[in-house]
Amino acid sequence: MWVRSTLAYRASFLLTALGNFAATALDFLAILLMFSHITVLGGFTLPEVAFLYGTSGAALGLADLVLGSMDRLGARVRDGTTDVLLVRPVPVFAQVAADRFALRRLGRITQAALVLGWSLTRVEVAWTPGKVLLVPLMLLCGAVIFAAVFTVGAAFQFVAQDAAEVQNSFTYGGTTMLQYPPTVFAKDLVRGVTFVVPLAFVNWLPALRLLGRDDPLGLPGWVDFLGPAVAALMCVLAWLAWRAGLRNYRSTGS
């Protein structure tokens, strides 16, 4: 239904889809502008940064396509329309995810996929079947990790109500950070996104393995392959947080 309703204003749909494409492309344009002055950033070349950019963008794009509406939950808790979701015979989670489902979000994925495709033709990697397999696995695990963050953020909205922006700093902020090489950031920040909010598993750790770089924290090599396990763990945590949030929900009393 949301798909049909957004297609009703055709000119506007095209503009927003294009806008979504361009909005994310701007980040990459900034990177290109930076590389017009330099040859390496934090020891990484342009194709390598493009690889990081493409993988983090595509992973977030996938999660955003499915669960990007989750940040609207805060507004729903505030105006009381969450009650409507509770009485319908469909899981609340599915309803929140489908709320205002927006096809225009395809713009982000398309753009990230294009950059990723370009970078794959340029990075110097001795491709083996295992390494080829690692790329789609990265995207999948990355999307699941971001989806879990979206869900935890939404669960937090049950309590905080209008703190949707905090969630943005972990999802959109996280993806901005993952676009750049980990060597750019302070060690403590890298530790934070490895051990506290494990965004490093979206692309940094597997990408460092692919590109043959050491990770700045000096973790043992097998950690690079923990993506699926981390993604699974995040899902369990997100599910628990969501359940706790829903249980704690009190309707606005007026």
Partner 1 sequence: MLYAAVAARSFRRYATYRIATASGVFTNTVFGFILAYTYIALWTERPRLGGYDLPQALTFVWTGQALLAATGLLIGGGMDELQDRIRSGDIAVDLHRPADLQLWWLAADLGRAAFQLIGRGLVPMAVGTLAFPHALPASPVTWLLFLVSVALGVVVGFALRYLVALTSFWLLDGAGVSMVAGLLCMFFSGMVLPLNVFPGGFGEAVRLLPWSSMLQVPADVLLGVHDGADAARALAFQAGWAAVLLAAGRLAQSVATRKVVVQGG
3-state SS record for 165-201: HHHHHHHHHHHHHHCCCHHHCCHHHHHHHHHHCCHHH
Q: How many residues bind partner 1 (CB under 8 A)?
A: 42
Which CB sits closer to partner 1, 11 or 87?
11
Cα separations (Å) of 250 from 40, 61, 86?
A: 52, 32, 12
- Comparing C-alpha atoms, which of 248, 252, 204 is closest to residue 230? 204
The footprint of partner 1 on residues 171-230 (CB under 8 A) is 173, 176-177, 180, 183-186, 189
CB 42 within 8 A of CB 180: yes
CA distance 180 to 53: 7
Only segment of 6-14, 194-202, 233-241, 243-251 that touches partner 1 (CB under 8 A): 6-14
Q: Is 36 in the site for partner 1 (CB under 8 A)?
A: yes
CB 108 within 8 A of CB 64: yes
Q: Is 164 in the site for partner 1 (CB under 8 A)?
A: yes
DSSP designation for 213 = -
What string marks each residue from 39 to 68 as x (binds partner 1 by CB under 8 A) or -?
A: -xxx--------------------------
Candidates 1, 4, 11, 129; binder of partner 1 (CB under 8 A) is 11
Binding-site ranges for partner 1 (CB under 8 A): 9, 11-16, 18-20, 22-23, 26-27, 29-30, 33-34, 36-38, 40-42, 160-166, 168-169, 173, 176-177, 180, 183-186, 189
